[in-house]
């Protein structure tokens, strides 16, 4: 699926070197969208998955936050920091630099042999980008994609023509989009860097052949180096891999292990010394940390970990990436002991404009269907059976809410073999959560086959193929988000969705979106008004069909 990927003119904010610079042999970078740290709020970064026209406006103040310098960037994505450590340990600190994309002209020069770029979503083909770009349907490609293109268009790169290697979770997108040649990328490095990166770089520097799409072997846990400089949001990996084995997931393929506390604290120090006020614990599930067999949580070790991080001088906030529900149901003491530590270090507070202080982490609910859970996500509920999934979800979210945890939850629809019964089960689960006044933020997404996931070859879902009920999953989630997070703005959102449906979305997405969109516009699902609107929609459809048949008949005459 080759795409039109025309290069734009260079941004006026880029500095031009006064004279020819020597440059560093190995330069590392990421796009503005992925290297910025958005005032310290990682959830703001998700806006980069929205169309450029909307997200650039919303984020513009943040995209240049790492003020361009002539030297190394202050904060960089954690994966890129690992790559920096791997390469600097081998080729010498003086030969490797991580640069902000706006400063490339200061660090790429005649000595530069290799440019390494890290990316999670270069073409905007991951879950959130795909879902919301097609849903909104105007405003261009995602900011992630636009900024990745801008990066490769940098005059310093074009002028000096170093070899280019791209790595990180999103490399498959460049291959799938058929853009490797057009972007002049010599090597797409897929997988972890600790085992194979050095030989690959050595081969590239020596002009030896390297596979264009390089699949890296898995490293041993002892090979993972400490980062040398601060990562965005103060990221520190506490575990790698997962092992629950969900069929749509890629990180589950990594070898599962927890990093020793000493290793973690050394990286906390690097981040704090580098100026970070927060520590972001990177993991597939924070309760995997030193967990026992069958994913039974190791409460004392988890509590010790967060206590130690929280008491490190200079750590003002602790941010969490992912968490799962089963461990907190298995051990009710887990949240009891952990919450006071995390609540005190929360980034989400009334001073920041929120209703109250709360803790948040990303939780994967994905579906309410026990059948789909059994088929694709059997390990997700361990140590419990997935046969109780909807009940476990309600119980887990309830426990979280009791302890002031307001999770961000993903719900996925359009899975390859999702039936109407499966979708109904998901809608029922969302209703049950609403009935218990769940405090949470839903991120509904379409199923996307990530390359190295077990379902990597499955059919990609899209809005055109969604049924009315699948649409309802998307809109119900957003209705709940409005009603919980911004009920005072409902008067603005409801008419906005109503008008956008009748003047735009209905034309773009068809009549199956009508009932769901009217629900999102504030109509009760079973209200008379909604069924009248649906009927009106249906009769318009019939009239349109009749008109086109009449035109056909007249034409034939
Ligand atoms: C932390 C995190 C974030 C943080 C980023 C923090 C940061 N800047 O450091 C936040 C919350 C901001 C974030 C946002 C998004 N994320 Co994210 N994120 C993660 C998470 C949980 C951990 C990433 C991490 O640091 N891992 C640890 C490091 C060591 O691993 P790594 O980054 O993969 O790096 C290694 C290799 O990839 C490789 N490598 C990395 N870079 C390079 C570069 C070169 C040149 C080479 C050779 C090698 C190389 O070497 C490294 C060491 O082994 C992963 C899940 C996961 N486990 O990977 C998802 C993940 C990477 N995110 C993902 C996505 C899609 C996003 C979003 C686009 C939103 C979305 N879900 O649609 C946004 C992007 C917004 C933006 N513009 O920044 C997806 C990528 C999917 C895919 N395969 O295409 C993942 C895999 C989650 C998932 N399963 O959906 N994310
Ligand atoms: S629980 Fe999460 S990280 Fe683990 S395999 Fe499932 S989706 Fe992947």
Give per-residue pLDDT as tens, 372-420.
999 999 999 999 999 999 999 999 999 999 999 999 999 999 988 999 9
251 CA to middle of ligand 1, Å?
9
pLDDT per position as a tens digit, 124-168: 988 888 888 777 777 788 999 999 999 999 999 989 999 999 999
- 450 CB near ligand 1 (under 6 Å): yes
Closest CA to 377 of 218, 368, 423: 368
Given the CA of residue 380, which atom of ligand 2 is nearest to it?
1
60 CA distance to ligand 2 middle (Å): 33
User: Cα separations (Å) of 274 from 69, 100, 347?
Assistant: 15, 15, 19
What single-letter DSSP state applies at residue 502?
I
* Ligand 2 atom at minimal distance to the Cα of residue 377: 6
pLDDT band at 4 (very low <50, low <70, confident <90, very high): very low
Ligand 2 and 242: CB distance under 6 A: yes
Q: Across 121-135, 247-261, 456-470, which has the greatest mean pLDDT?
A: 247-261
Closest CA to ligand 2's atom 2: 284
Q: What are the residues whose beta carbons fall under 8 Å from the beta carbon of 373, sequence distance 6 or more?
A: 366, 367, 380, 381, 386, 389
Higher pLDDT, 507 or 95: 95
pLDDT in tens, 22-81: 999 999 999 999 999 898 888 889 999 999 888 888 887 788 755 555 678 999 999 999
Q: Does residue 241 line the site of ligand 2, with CB under 6 A?
A: no
Please work out whether the CB of residue 364 comes within 6 Å of at least one atom of ligand 2. Answer: yes
Per domain, the residue ranges of the chain are: 1-219, 230-465, 481-489+501-556
Tell me if 390 CB under 6 Å of ligand 1.
no
Q: At what angle do helices 468-485 and 490-500 cross, to 10 degrees?
A: 160
pLDDT confidence band for 497 (50 / 70 / 90): confident
285 ligand 1 Cβ < 6 A: no
Q: What is the DSSP letter of 371?
A: H
Nearest CA to ligand 1 atom 17: 120
| Ligand 2, atom 6: closest residue by C-alpha | 246
- pLDDT of 200 > 90? The answer is yes
For residue 473, how far is its CA from the centre of ligand 2 (angstroms)? 21
Q: Are strands 96-98 and 114-118 parallel, antiparallel or unpaired?
A: unpaired
* Predicted local confidence at residue 349, as pLDDT: 95
- Res 494: pLDDT: 85
Q: Is the distance from the beta carbon of residue 254 to the nearest atom of ligand 2 less than 6 Å?
A: no
**What residue owns the CA closest to ligand 1's atom 16?**
120
Distance 494 CA to ligand 2 centre (A): 35
State in Å: Cα 124 to ligand 1 middle.
Answer: 13
245-264: average pLDDT: 91
DSSP per-residue string spanning 149-215: HHHHT-HHHHHH--EEEEESTTHHHHHHTT-TTTTT-SEEEES-STTTHHHHHHHHHTT----SEEE
Model pLDDT, residue 550: 56
Q: Express as a percent the part of the chain with pLDDT over 70.
A: 90
Mean pLDDT, range 270-276, rounded to an integer? 97
Q: What top-level class would CATH report for the domain 230-465?
A: alpha beta
Which tens digit of pLDDT belongs to each residue from 501-516?
787 777 778 888 888 8
- In this predicted model, what pLDDT tens digit does every residue of 321-345 receive, in sequence order? 999 999 999 999 999 999 999 999 9
Classify 311 as helix, strand or coil.
Answer: coil
Q: List beta partners, residue 115.
A: 27, 164
Q: Is the CB of 72 under 6 A from ligand 2?
A: no
Categorize the per-residue pLDDT at 9 as very low, low, confident or very high, splitting at 50, 70 and 90.
very low
**Is the preceding peptide bond at 383 cis, omega within 30 degrees of 0?**
yes
- pLDDT over 90 at 275, yes or no: yes
Out of 284, 377, 393, 449, mutate this one to test ligand 2's pocket (max ligand atoms within 8 Å of CB): namely 284
Whether the CB-CB separation of 186 and 160 falls below 8 Å is answered with no
Q: Computed over its alpha carbons, how large is the radius of gyration of the chain?
A: 25
Q: Which ligand is nearest to the CA of 240?
A: 1
Location of structure tokens 């920091």? 81
Tell me the pTM.
0.91
Q: What is the pLDDT of residue 3?
A: 41
Determine phi and psi for 377, rounding to 5 degrees. Answer: -140, 45
């Amino acid at each position: 699926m080759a795409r039109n990927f025309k290069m734009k003119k260079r941004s006026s904010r880029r500095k031009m070197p006064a004279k020819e610079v020597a440059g560093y042999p190995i330069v590392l970078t990421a796009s503005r969208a992925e290297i910025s740290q958005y005032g310290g709020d990682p959830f703001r970064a998700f806006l980069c998955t929205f169309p450029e026209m909307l997200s650039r406006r919303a984020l513009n103040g943040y995209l240049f936050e790492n003020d361009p310098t002539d030297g190394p960037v202050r904060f960089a994505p954690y994966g890129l920091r690992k790559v920096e450590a791997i390469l600097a340990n081998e080729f010498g600190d003086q030969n490797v630099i991580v640069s902000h994309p706006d400063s490339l002209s200061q660090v790429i020069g005649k000595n530069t042999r290799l440019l390494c770029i890290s990316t999670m979503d270069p073409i905007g083909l991951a879950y959130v980008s795909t879902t919301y770009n097609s849903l909104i349907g105007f405003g261009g490609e995602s900011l992630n994609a636009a900024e990745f293109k801008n990066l490769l268009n940098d005059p310093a790169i074009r002028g000096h023509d170093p070899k280019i290697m791209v790595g990180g979770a999103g490399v498959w997108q460049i291959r799938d989009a058929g853009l490797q040649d057009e972007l002049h990328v010599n090597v797409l490095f897929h997988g972890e860097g600790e085992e194979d990166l050095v030989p690959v770089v050595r081969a590239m520097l020596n002009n030896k052949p390297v596979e264009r799409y390089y699949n890296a072997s898995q490293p041993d846990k002892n090979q993972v180096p400490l980062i040398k400089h601060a990562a965005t949001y103060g990221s520190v990996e506490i575990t790698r891999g997962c092992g629950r084995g969900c069929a749509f997931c890629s990180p589950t393929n990594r070898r599962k292990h927890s990093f020793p506390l000493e290793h973690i604290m050394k990286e906390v120090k690097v981040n704090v010394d580098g100026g970070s006020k927060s520590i972001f614990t990177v993991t597939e599930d924070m309760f995997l940390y030193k967990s026992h067999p069958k994913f039974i949580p190791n409460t004392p070790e988890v509590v010790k970990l967060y206590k130690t991080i929280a008491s490190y001088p200079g750590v003002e906030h602790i941010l969490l990436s992912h968490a799962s529900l089963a461990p907190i149901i298995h051990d009710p003491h887990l949240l009891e002991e952990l919450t006071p530590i995390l609540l005190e270090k929360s980034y989400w507070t009334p001073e920041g404009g929120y209703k109250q202080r709360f803790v948040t982490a990303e939780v994967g609910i994905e579906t309410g269907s026990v059948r789909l859970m059994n088929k694709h996500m059997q390990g997700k509920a361990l140590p419990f059976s997935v046969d109780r999934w909807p009940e476990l979800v309600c119980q887990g979210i309830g426990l979280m809410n009791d302890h002031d945890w307001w999770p961000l939850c993903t719900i996925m629809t359009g899975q390859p073999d999702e039936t109407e019964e499966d979708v109904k089960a998901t809608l029922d689960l969302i209703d049950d959560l609403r009935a218990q006044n769940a405090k949470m933020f839903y991120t509904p997404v379409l199923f996307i086959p990530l390359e190295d996931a077990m379902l990597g070859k499955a059919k990609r879902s899209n809005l055109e193929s969604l049924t009315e009920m699948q649409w309802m999953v998307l809109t119900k989630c957003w209705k709940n988000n409005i009603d919980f997070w911004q009920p005072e703005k409902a008067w603005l959102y409801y008419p906005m969705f109503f008008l956008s449906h009748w003047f735009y979305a209905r034309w773009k997405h068809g009549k199956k979106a009508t009932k769901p969109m009217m629900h999102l516009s504030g109509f009760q699902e079973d209200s008379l008004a909604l069924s009248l609107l649906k009927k009106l929609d249906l009769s318009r459809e019939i009239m349109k069909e009749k008109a086109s048949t009449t035109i056909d008949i007249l034409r034939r005459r």
